[in-house]
Copies of this chain bind each other. A is one copy, B any other.
Amino acid sequence: MVRKGGGDLGGRRSTIRDVAARAGVSASTVSRVLGGVYPVSTRTRARVQRAVRELDYVADAHAKAVAGAGTPALALVLDDITGPSFAHMARGVEREAARLGHLCLVCSTDGDTGHELGFIEMMRAQRAAAVILVGGAVDSPEYRRRMARVADSLASAGSRLVLCGRPPLAPGTPVTVIEYDNENGAFALCAHVLAQGHRRVLFLGGSPENTAAQGRERGYLAAHRARGIEPDPALRLSGDFTRDSGHRLLRRALDQGLAFTAVMAATDMVAAGALTALHEAGLSVPGDVSLAGYDDIPFARDLHPPLTTVHVPYEQLGRLAVRTSLGRTPDAPDEHLLLGTHVVIRDSVAPPAGAPL
């Protein structure tokens, strides 16, 4: 089969030497005109550029990398790109990486720690400029040990570990941690709910091990205590961060006859499922029960009623992750950023029926 275009070499990619030959110069010269910054005569440069065009040549990125040139890629490791908040972080990472001229590798782990470790190993093999781990994790001594080892091994390969929305490691570990304030966000949100007069607030959590879920639950608890209320433990349910979890949990609560006048979901997705369950049960929101979410995903506005929630600057988080990890020496001391959140009040939270104004 015959390729179109001038650049056929029998199915072989054209190399810098092919270009050199065609332009009647040496490979070094081609490299120099492509590099852009070296002194090359105008005539030579033109000839080389023409040859490049005719051959449709692009320099092999791997060869460049091996030779010590080239821009290393960034690696993004997350649970599931399909979660709206993850997707927004991914966008931030991808955009900032592109702006800085880096390519972006992404891996989904589906929550499997083994996969995660495997991916990190691959990223080290790829000489990634940084490996960004996104999303809550199970915080345990084992987690800290494992991550510290990863951080060191990445650092010694000239790369950098970035933890986004994950618990920090021991001081001195070469890692960048960027968190958003789960606890305070949940505190503010729950305080708002309580201020409306609710006393029995159902908490629809994530996995009890997940640090993001834990932080939000701590905020829920703290807001109660700040008002001198001891929340009923029976009101704290755990599941995962999916829409289905919210739906299932709320339906079960209803079936069990649990008494509550408001629901605080660990996630907007969870809230969405819960809302549907509420509607299915013929309950009106916020007339019969109030509902609040967390994350402020774009869809939250289109729920009915529009969802009161906590805004988390996910995209900015992603941008920050790449900005702070790049242009930093691999084994810089650990660095810790905490981003603020704020509650956005819409229509899904109101005073409980029969409450005093």
Contacts and interface: CB of A to CB of B under 8 A. Distances in A.
Interface of A: 1, 3-5, 7-8, 11, 13, 56, 58-63, 65-66, 73, 80-82, 84, 87-88, 90-91, 94-95, 98, 103-108, 115, 121-122, 124-127, 149, 152-153, 155-158, 243, 272-273, 275-276, 279, 298-299, 301-304, 306, 330-331
A157 B13 contact: yes
Contacts of A126: 61-62, 103
A7 B124 CA distance: 14
A81 B105 contact: no
B299 A275 contact: no
A87 B152 CA distance: 32
A12 to B, nearest CB: 9
A354 to B, nearest CB: 24
A302 B331 contact: no
Contact of A94 (B13, B66, B81, B84): B81
B105 A104 contact: yes
Nearest to A106: B106
Contact of A124 (B58, B90, B299): B58
A25 to B, nearest CB: 21
A81 B298 CA distance: 14
A13 B158 contact: yes
B272 A3 contact: no
B108 A60 contact: no
B73 A81 contact: no
Given A5-B152, A243-B298, 8 more contacts: A58-B125, A81-B94, A94-B107, A98-B115, A104-B106, A106-B106, A272-B299, A279-B304
Contacts of A103: 105, 107, 122, 126
Contacts of A107: 94, 98, 103-104
B63 A105 contact: no
Nearest to A276: B302
A49 B286 CA distance: 63
A156 B125 contact: no
Contacts of A106: 90, 94, 104-106
Closest 4 CB pairs of A and B: A304-B304, A272-B302, A62-B65, A62-B62
A125 B4 contact: no
A95 B122 CA distance: 16
Given A59-B125, A158-B13, A5 B299 contact: no
Contacts of A108: 91, 94-95, 98
